[in-house]
């Protein structure tokens, strides 16, 4: 009987390894894309498509720092290679229904291009992403959404 149990355990190991590898290689499911639009006579930006649970959790905190860590707004520099070095646009974030509204401290400038950096937290963090070279440790995935006042 002991030999049969030992044989069963030997057969289970490759199956378990195969199962774990297949789970690690399954692509992560990401939420729908974030959509932005200007509202309030083009003086505010509305964000839709953010994870509802995350929005509710951050909405409990009135600090703009929490929202800026998820969806900061920046002024686009003339030299777009300098995008990563721009200061965040100060302003107020409000949670309204299933959207977040950002209103800057100083009005958006007519004709000026701005961008929102949407951090896609958790994306690219599967074992398959590392194996296939789609990501490196410490890299945060984001999408820049551009708008013009």
Within-domain flag for 48: yes
Within-domain flag for 6: no
Three-class secondary structure of residue 70 per DSSP: helix
Within-domain flag for 19: no
Within-domain flag for 22: no
pLDDT given at position 31 = 45
Within-domain flag for 7: no
The pTM score is: 0.65
List CB contacts of 100: < 8 A, sequence separation 6 or more. 46, 47, 50, 55, 67, 71, 93, 94
pLDDT given at position 134 = 56
pLDDT given at position 2 = 54
* Domain span at 119: 31-148
> By C-alpha distance, which of 136, 120, 113 is closest to 38?
113
Number of domains within the chain: 1
Residues 51-68 have pLDDT tens digits of 777 777 777 765 667 777
Low pLDDT (below 70) residues in the chain:
1-32, 61-64, 120-140
List CB contacts of 123: < 8 A, sequence separation 6 or more. 28, 30, 141
Within-domain flag for 100: yes
pLDDT given at position 46 = 94
Three-class secondary structure of residue 88 per DSSP: strand
pLDDT given at position 57 = 77
pLDDT given at position 23 = 38
pLDDT given at position 58 = 77
Read off the CATH number of the domain in which 112 is found.
2.60.40
Within-domain flag for 92: yes
Within-domain flag for 20: no
């Amino acid at each position: 009987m002991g030999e049969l149990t030992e044989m069963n355990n030997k057969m289970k190991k490759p199956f378990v390894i195969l199962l774990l590898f297949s789970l690690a290689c399954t692509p992560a499911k990401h939420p729908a894309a974030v959509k932005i639009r200007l509202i309030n006579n083009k003086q505010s930006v509305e964000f839709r498509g953010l994870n509802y649970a995350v929005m509710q959790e951050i909405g409990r905190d009135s600090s703009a720092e929490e929202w800026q860590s998820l969806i900061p707004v920046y002024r686009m520099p003339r030299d777009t290679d300098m995008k990563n070095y721009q200061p965040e646009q100060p302003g107020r974030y409000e949670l309204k229904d299933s959207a977040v509204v950002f209103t800057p401290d100083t009005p958006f400038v007519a004709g000026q291009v701005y961008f929102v950096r949407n951090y896609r937290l958790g994306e690219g963090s599967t074992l398959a992403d590392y194996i296939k070279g789609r990501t490196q440790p410490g890299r945060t995935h984001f999408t820049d959404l551009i708008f013009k006042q």
